[in-house]
Structure 1
């Protein structure tokens, strides 16, 4: 068979012209999504078609190789990415169907001591982060917004609160699938990328509770609750740093959220919030009475509401830390050689390009979540407390089909975005863009997070942003290194893309629409956008500066 290799100057023998043509699939995607206002999956399908045309007509890739590249990317989008997200949402649904989620919501009423500012932080930041870790895809914003509204927070403030709170956890959302995707598409070790992200995101996490206090109650809120905000933010950030670096990175947000919530509970027992009466008066709420603070929740019901997340930690921990099991799980993922690609796709030196697909049917976070959910459903069916919480294994299994049906268009979008990424990667389109932007020199390291920010703002998904730009970031880093620029490692730029995407999510149309719907502000997304955009830009500038400093004076944060 005739072999084929990608050439980055395929269009007219010019790198610049090739890079310009290579942007057409991305432009098609963004124009369809933002200009034509097409649905995400339609936009992604159009972008895939454009990428194949550019690959064939512009970069000279045989049409069958271009089509098979799309198939290869789509397979990875389907398993593990779609599988992980479906299972994460299903796991959350198990807690809702059982009725235990309502007990969890009521638990927050007891924890905050009547201070709606602290309660809002615990719900939006800690619990919202836990939902992001397990489900993502808008679930944290929708769920926590309604919970905060119930506290008495005004709709606009509630929307702003949940959107800003849903920042630091995003990089490790849906059991860290954005980072796993960055490693797969960029061809680098996901654990190394996770560790570097774990040295960036916690700095955001520390400041988020302070910002939430300011949004909820202005300067007075900061005066009253700065100590509690600092304790919660520090606990979250420290645990996020440690878990991403030394433990199972897929569990980073799960553990950080549980620990920060636990620390807050203990701290609130000894240091009561100040100004509770004042904030309740400013919000037009009745004074807090001891009788009103009491609740029928028992310790057993609180434990049963929190138990699912403890089970997730145990199962993921065992699967990632028990050496014999880790070794066996690796043997359960057969490698499938992709037809055509395996035989004909080579590098310029004639070496085969790795295109095998690893069928990780067991050794992936989605399957671990399935096991966790079945265990939780079984325990809930056994410990049913006189029939007050009705769920069976049969009910839980049926819900998998319901979630799959509800996620069908989102799943198609993800599959197409990954297909787009692989066509662009294998045909040389992404590499051409990467080589060209590397000509910017050291300044590119400063700007690298903006790609993730733009990608997530447009697609609503840090995973999709990483699928689109990971290969580009790696190519840019390699060429900067070849030019003698020190400190710009591929893993650092992959982490920058991920962390940049974190602060782009709050301004994505998807997130804005979900928040507006949850707080009954449909049609007023622009108001929410105006309120959160300045915060998004401030966060982005901070991340850009941090990444630039990590290439030189803070390089120790990258050496993991």
Structure 2
């Protein structure tokens, strides 16, 4: 039996929207006002969405249940798989004692919490977004900041907010690739348009982050460092997105801003070192000096992580891993059982790419790192078990959130909300980012939001005489500021920051910043559409013919052999440093 989606179940778009918005409004109410735990709010919202989908939209109960199951399965893999491995890698570093050396190293650069936040949450987080994406940046950077002594709420909150600037180019540019495939606009002009919007946000973001942590006055105290961080990031993001394409802006801007800020801090220091109010004063013994080898050993998990996630993003390696380890199947009872408004049947596939998934790259990094940091594999297994126990509620939350998102999409509820925004006429460019923001809030992914709405953005812009690249790019840019309040992202950040059960606090911490940044992007896109058209790139649409190419897996296997040799050389060098006598623990901190 095939069921057709309904966009306006009441034949009154205003009434349909009011009902369609109930599950989303419930999420806001539950987390902001009721202060529910994340998994409770997600489960109830999923139930509400299922009731509305079946009773109002007429979706068969069987399809609603299957849709929720499909979403929950996607939540478990690859999302939870990635989060578990990211936290596991960090826990290995802590268990081995190597994180104490990392803390000492960071303090030797600066013990100022404001500057540490810029280096880790903003710059390093961007690098991780560009390589891994899908929750890894927030999971790893929030855990690192908590380990350094940050207040858990601030650590998780600022990592979510810092993650806005790089999301559009995450996972080697996948969000823009998907937007291109759906809209028919080539990747480069979309990348250029996004790269002429987000760098403005990137310049302001470091000052904004420090103001949240410490206050505007305290941010002004370190304005030279804030300026170096923001300008270097924005410049590199602009250049790479406009001239190289969407694959590398996050990697280049993230690494470049780290280098620029570290070099700058060699010649400039803030007059006062700022730490949290109730935080004990720094007790770092400045007489202690770690050897280069000891520092490399301490950073080994993150060095290996960087190499692995970059390698996993290389297309030949990805093709080789998929050829050897991927199972793809049609979801039983759901595949081609729903007909979209345009008459096409919706394919419902599940891709279990257990080798090429980013979480597997992080797992491999963890397994390689265990002996490098001085642990046995038995101890590593104990750490893994403790990590699973630590994340049991976030896993439930993420699975529930993805079930919620899939029901909203499959039933047509999301399309009802989109239809209203698409009917705003001349003002549509102002609301185009809202559509992306809504899509990311629901799905937790800028990639998914682009898959949902890029075609709608393109068609609506054409109908009102606006260049479609403006609104398609706006979908991406608006989506990045929805990431920080997506229930999926909140669950990931809460897990990494030891805030399980306090997701409502984290949501209330970020929600006002999300709305503020969204409003800024809305006005900017409106100006791009009508007032500053000179920023719009010139381009030609993609051709209608697509040629299928068979991947050359032999090249991928060659790359994997090269990767194995590189890792073996690095591991050997690091293990040799283990013989170096380390300072006594009481001198470290």
The TM-score bracket by the shorter chain reads 0.7 to 0.9
Counterpart in the other structure of 1:168: 162
Instruction: Report the counterpart of residue 496 of structure 1 in structure 2.
Output: 477
Q: Which runs of 5+ in 1 are unaligned?
A: 150-154, 381-389
- Offset of 1:367 from its aligned partner? 0.9
Map 1:94-243 → 2, pairs under 5 A: 94-112=92-110, 118-119=115-116, 121-122=118-119, 125-126=122-123, 135=136, 140-141=141-142, 143-144=144-145, 147=148, 163-164=157-158, 166-170=160-164, 176=170, 188=182, 200-211=197-208, 216=214, 222=220, 225-240=222-237
Equivalent in the alignment of 1:464? 444
Measure the CA separation in 2 of the matches of 1:419 and 1:194: 31
CA contact (8 A) 1:87 1:369 kept: yes
Q: In the alignment, what sits opposite 1:313?
A: 306
TM-score by length of 2: 0.72
Q: CA deviation at 1:267?
A: 3.0
Shift of 1:505: 8.0
Structure 1 residue 438, shift from structure 2 partner:
1.0
Query: What pairs with 1:125-524 in structure 2 (closer than 5 Å)?
Result: 125-126=122-123, 135=136, 140-141=141-142, 143-144=144-145, 147=148, 163-164=157-158, 166-170=160-164, 176=170, 188=182, 200-211=197-208, 216=214, 222=220, 225-240=222-237, 256-269=253-266, 271-273=267-269, 276=271, 293-321=286-314, 323=316, 325-331=317-323, 332-348=325-341, 350-380=343-373, 390-450=374-434, 464=444, 473-474=453-454, 476-478=456-458, 480-481=460-461, 483-488=463-468, 491-502=472-483
Q: Check 1:540–1:16 CA distance in 2 against 1; reply closer, same or farther (3 A cut).
A: closer
Structure 1 residues 218, 19: CA separation in 2 closer, same or farther (over 3 Å shift)? closer
Aligned to 1:384: none
Q: Which residue of 1 aligns with 2:586?
A: none
* 2:128/2:137 contact within 8 Å kept: yes
Deviations 1:379-433 (A, max 9, x none): 22xxxxxxxxx41233223323322222222122221222122222222221122
Distance 2:31 2:352 in 1: 32
Deviation of 1:104 after TM superposition, in Å, equals 1.0
Change (3 A) 1:101 1:258: farther
- In structure 2, the CA distance between the partners of 1:200 and 1:514, relative to structure 1 (3 Å rule), is farther
Aligned residues: 525
Whole-Å Cα distance in 2 between the matches of residues 540 and 504 of structure 1?
12
Q: TM-score, normalised by structure 1?
A: 0.75
Q: Which deviates more from structure 2 when the two are superposed, residues 411-420 or residues 208-217? A: 208-217
Distance in 2 separating the partners of 1:455 and 1:344: 23
**Secondary structure at the counterpart of residue 400 of structure 1:** helix
Change (3 A) 1:200 1:57: same
Residue in structure 2 matched with residue 556 of structure 1 by the alignment: 537
Deviation per CA, 1:305-352, whole angstroms, max 9, x where unpaired?
2332222222222232253x2332343433211222225323456542
Q: Distance in 1 between matches of 2:31 and 2:492?
A: 14
1:56 and 1:63 in contact (8 A); partners too: yes
Deviations 1:203-241 (A, max 9, x none): 33333333456675866864x643333222233344555
Tell me the alpha carbon deviations over residues 276-299 of structure 1, each in whole angstroms, 9 at most, x when there is no partner: 3x6689x9999999x964323221
Equivalent residue for 1:65, pick from 58, 63, 83: 63
2:7 aligned counterpart, secondary structure: coil
Does the C-alpha gap of structure 1 residues 515 and 439 become closer, same or farther in structure 2, counting only changes over 3 Å? same
Residue 555 of structure 1 deviates from its aligned partner by 2.7
Return the alpha-carbon distance in structure 2 between the equivalents of residues 375 and 146 of structure 1. 22
What secondary structure sits across from 2:162 in the alignment? coil
Give, in whole Å, the separation in 2 of the partners of 1:438 and 1:106.
53
Out of 79, 82, 85, the residue aligned to residue 84 of structure 1 is 82
Counterparts in 2 of 1:284 and 1:204: CA distance versus 1, 3 Å: same
Q: Give the 3 Å change call, closer, same or farther, for CA 194–407 of structure 1 in structure 2.
A: farther
Matches of 1:309 and 1:472, distance apart in 2: 34
Moved more, 428-437 or 200-209: 200-209
Kept after mapping to 2: 8 A contact 1:73/1:420: yes
Q: Please tell me the root mean square deviation across aligned C-alpha atoms, in Å.
A: 4.9
> Is the 2:446–2:483 Cα contact (8 Å) retained in structure 1?
no
Q: Structure 1's 208 and 558: CA in aligned 2 closer, same or farther, altered over 3 A?
A: farther
Deviations 1:96-130 (Å, cap 9, x if unpaired)? 12211111111122113x76754564355445667
Using the alignment, how far apart are the partners of 2:327 and 2:187 within structure 1? 21
Q: Secondary structure at the match of 1:342?
A: coil
* CA distance in structure 1 between the partners assigned to 2:196 and 2:377 by the alignment: 40
CA deviation map 1:490-541 (0-9, x unaligned):
74244134222256589x99899999999xxx9x979x979x8876655333
Asked if the contact 1:72–1:422 (Cα under 8 Å) also holds between the matched residues in 2, the reply is: yes
Structure 2 vs 1, CA of residues 72 and 308 (structure 1 numbering), >3 Å: closer, same or farther? same
